[in-house]
Structure 1
Amino acid sequence: MDSILVTGNGPLNGQIPIAGAKNACLTLMPATLLSEEPLTLTNAPRLSDIKTMTALLQSLGAEVSALQDGQVIAMSSHDLTSQTADYDIVRKMRASNLVLGPLLARFGQAVVSLPGGCAIGARPMDLHVEGLEALGAEIELKDGYLHAKAPGGLKGAVHEMRFASVGATENIVMAATLAKGTTVLKNAAREPEIVDLVECLRKMGAQISGEGTSTIEIQGVDRLHGATHQVVTDRIELGTYMLTPAICGGEVELLGGRMSLVSSFVEKLEAAGVSVSETEKGLKVARKNGRVRAVGVVTEPFPGFPTDLQAQMMALMCTAEGTSVLEERIFENRFMHAPELTRMGAQIEVHGGTATVTGVEQLKGAPVMATDLRASVSLILAGLAAEGETTVSRVYHLDRGYEHVVRKLEGVGAKIERIKGE
């Protein structure tokens, strides 16, 4: 099993290109199921999760091809052979459940296994089911599979979600594009990935308004056509690499970055004493005046502080001056990186959904183990700031969400290498 060896060696300087958004691409790919015509995505990230979604779509009979070194994904669902998403594929990745809405909308039936993914909480499907049932679907859980049908087709409705779930919003919006009549989805999630999905669906002929707000209105149409769409910049990769000069010192420019994608995150960085500015090519981040200051963080749905940047922010706070409190309100069990950081000399106390971090002047390199995708990169960040060598094991998590981590960090002066396992 591969590991990553990191040796702290001072400030980082240079440029890091930011890829297309993993979470956006994984949402856009199932949209091909809504139409018989081709859907092409550009600026696609090259990640293992994308390969998993490719395998899932191909298992349904879709044609999926990776072009231009994987940065272009060409898809066609003109001749699907199945409406069943099997457990063997779905268990590997949470986003697999996003085939449910499109299959149900286009074919009036779908059988989808309950999903898997990182071990950061239960993340049940109830909000997805409630929304689709509001559109007239009949859904039964049997033997670990959701059996959904809509014999007379889906019908528009007014539905208010109990929680602004990103995945449920995406599933319901895709399903509603082919429903009869108008659907009004209230308390919808507002994430940039949802805005990106709606822009793509609109190119395919969908009639949708209100994306980026808490109320989305969808006027159903009879059919959708093909389109070409560029995947939005990955705001989580962007935020992650913005932390490299914050935790190590130096100045790094993030190519393709946009302030609007990470505004709440930028507020916390600036409060900590890190400068962030816009450039013609993206965002420039610098820390030149000693240790950062401790700041508190509460994870919230967009536009609040992203849960997917909480682990990375904790790594920064481990080296901050003062004590910070990080409160996780999105997922339970998302502080599994804390014990690993303490192995490196961090001072962290976890009580339920709250972690109290007292900054230390210097972290120490140590062998640590990644427990999930974002935890894995937080340990790499900590290793960059630590004295000596840090070996991060179980980095297969990393491949799900970050492309070319070693190459990108080497490009700004980091001392990092991937060690191949036996």
Structure 2
Amino acid sequence: MEAFEVTGGRPLYGTTKIYGAKNAALPILAATVMAGDVCVIEGVPRLQDVRVMVRILQSLGAQVEWIDDTITVDPRPIHSTDVPSDLMRQMRSSIFLMGPLLARFGEVRVSRPGGCVIGQRPIDYHLRGMRDLGAKVEEAHGYVRCTANRLYGTHISLDFPSVGATENLMMAAVFADGVTVLENVAREPEIVDLARFLEKCGASIEGAGDDSIRIYGVHHLTGTTHQVIPDRIVAGTVMIAAAATGGDVTLEGVIPSHLGATITKLKETGVQVIVDRDIIRVNQGASRLAADIRTAPFPGFPTDLQAPAMALLTTVSGTSVIRESVFEARFKHVNELVRMGADIAVDIQTAVIRGVPRLSGALVEASDLRGGAALVIAGLMAEGKTRIEGLQHIDRGYQQLDTMLRDLGADIVRID
């Protein structure tokens, strides 16, 4: 079993460039299914989830070429609308193919998706929206089949601003007859990036980034070239790691407006954050203070940075409180942090963190992607050596995390 071995106590110093966002690249790759010509997607991170999406596209018949950080997709040869169940189980984001395949071919068959186990993430919003657009939805034996001779523009209001449902329904509505209005939708930057890609291909979309999106149906999309936005979660993870180790790190190629809540919370803990266009510099201030965090959909504090932030707060002075309002099972990293000496008490979806003088290295295991990143940060902070197992989770969302941190001075190696 592969693991990270981290020797803590080294502040991070230097400059790093942030690569493209996984959570933007995956729905965009799914959306290429709808294009009538070749699409070139640039800035794509080399991650396991992206590899799975590439394999799915190839299994459907698309021609896919991946060179460095650029993926070229020719969707014209696609002949299948049945997404392989073994690949669906590996990655939850494969559900994004439901909307594009239904819109282009009038049918799609998928199994219920897999991914990190961080709580209930039902696809009910997706299915309800597809029905509202005119699709017939059948569920049996773990599979979902959607069919429609035509999709029709309609008014859909989500009960919760789900990112996945917003993206899936927006893609499906691109080919629907008439106008579709999506209300109470997610506002994440990755949704805006998907809309920009679709617009380059010829879609007509208004309001992406607001809580209401209007899509004017078209009958054809062209190919295009698109650059994926930088990964705000990777950027936030590195910023938190720099603060946690008392370092001084400059991040290049970021979009600071995507990190507003993260910057605010870091400043509350006494961290100095300097912003200049597409550059953010983070260095430890004079003191490290407790802070209260409540996760929320964008522009609130991202649930994907809750675990890394908790690692930072384990050794600050005072008591911090984290309220997880997005996923109900996202505190699985707590037991591993406690194993390293943290003082954390959890009551349902609230964690109370009482700062301790230091963490100690230990054998720990990542059970999900962002919890794994938190354990890496804790290892960088701790005295002695920390062995972090479960790297398959971390590799789903971080491109060579050990290399990036090592380039900033961390003592971290990947071992068998």
What interval of TM-score do these two structures reach, taking the shorter chain for normalisation? Answer: over 0.9
**What does residue range 9-88 of structure 1 map to in structure 2 within 5 Å?**
9-67=9-67, 69=68, 71-88=69-86
Residue type of the alignment partner of 1:262: L
User: Does the aligned pair in 2 maintain the 1:36–1:79 contact within 8 Å?
Assistant: no
Shift of 1:122: 2.1
Partner of residue 128, structure 1: 126
Q: Does 1:412 align with 2:415?
A: no
1:262 aligned counterpart, secondary structure = helix
Match of 1:388 among 384, 390, 402: 384
- Is the aligned partner of 1:373 residue 2:392? no
1:345 matched to 2:341? The reply is yes
The answer to whether the Cα contact below 8 Å between 1:164 and 1:301 also exists between their aligned partners in 2 is yes
2:21 partner amino acid: A
8 Å Cα contact 2:30/2:100 also seen in 1: yes
Question: Which residue number in structure 2 is paired with residue 4 of structure 1?
Answer: 4
CA separation in 2, counterparts of 1:78 and 1:17? 35
Q: Once the 2 structures are TM-superposed, how far is the Cα of residue 276 of structure 1 from its aligned partner?
A: 1.0
**Deviation per residue, 1:30-78 (Å, 9 max, x gap):** 11111231111001111011000001111111111101x2x00000110
Paired position in structure 2 for 1:228: 225
Q: What is the CA distance between 1:258 and its match in structure 2?
A: 2.1
Structure 1 residues 151-208: Cα deviation after superposition (integer angstroms, max 9, x where no partner): 2x10000110111000000000000111100000000100000000000000000000
The match for 1:147 is 145
User: Residues 63-112 of structure 1: CA distance to partner in whole angstroms, max 9, x if unpaired?
Assistant: 11101x2x000001102121011211100010000000001111111111
Alignment of 1:289-328 (within 5 A): 289-290=286-287, 292-328=288-324
Instruction: Map 1:93-132; keep pairs closer than 5 Å.
Output: 93-132=91-130
Asked if the contact 1:92–1:115 (Cα under 8 Å) also holds between the matched residues in 2, the reply is yes
1:248-302 alpha-carbon deviations (Å, 9 max, x no partner): 1121001112210110111111111111112355110010424x21101111100
> How far apart in 2 are the matches of 1:211 and 1:34?
19
**Residue identity opposite 2:104 in structure 1:** R
Contact between 2:255 and 2:278, CA under 8 Å: does it hold in 1? no
| 3-state SS in 2 of match to 1:400 | coil
Corresponding residue number in structure 1 for 2:267: 270
Q: Which residue of 1 aligns with 2:213?
A: 216
Structure 2: 5+ residue stretches without partners: none
Contact 2:256/2:277 (<8 A) preserved: no
1:383-411 Cα offsets, whole Å, 9 max, x none, are 10111100001111111100121111111
Cα contact 2:315–2:355 (8 A) shared by 1: yes
The TM-score, its normalising length taken from structure 2, stands at 0.99
Question: Which residue in 2 is equivalent to 1:156?
Answer: 153
Question: Alpha-carbon deviation of 1:306?
Answer: 0.4
Between Structure 1 and Structure 2, how many residues are aligned? 416
CA distance in 2, matches of 1:14, 1:211: 35
SS of 2:20 mapped into structure 1: coil
Mapping of residues 252-267 of structure 1, within 5 Å? 252-267=249-264
Contact 1:23-1:193 within 8 A present in 2 as well: yes
Q: Distance in 2 between matches of 1:84 and 1:294?
A: 50
8 Å CA contact 1:140–1:147 kept in 2: the answer is: yes
| Aligned partner letter, 2:240 | L
Which residue identity lines up with residue 386 of structure 2 in the other structure?
A: T
Give CA deviations for 1:100-157 in whole Å, capped at 9, x if unaligned. Answer: 0001111111111110000111201100011111111110111111110012x10000
Specify the SS of the correspondent of 1:20.
Answer: coil
Contact in 2 for aligned 1:17/1:408 (Cα 8 Å): no
Cα separation, 2, equivalents of 1:79 and 1:246: 49
Distance in 2, matches of 1:51 and 1:245, equals: 29
Structure 1 moving runs of 4+ over 2 Å: none
The CA distance in 1 between the partners of 2:58 and 2:181, in whole Å, is 32
Task: Pick one of 268, 275, 279 that aligns with 2:276.
Answer: 279
Q: Answer whether contact 1:250 1:288 (CA < 8 A) is retained.
A: no
Q: Aligned equivalents of 1:178 and 1:137: distance in 2?
A: 13
Amino acid at match of 1:28: I
TM-score by length of 1: 0.97
d(CA) in 1 for partners of 2:304, 2:54 = 23
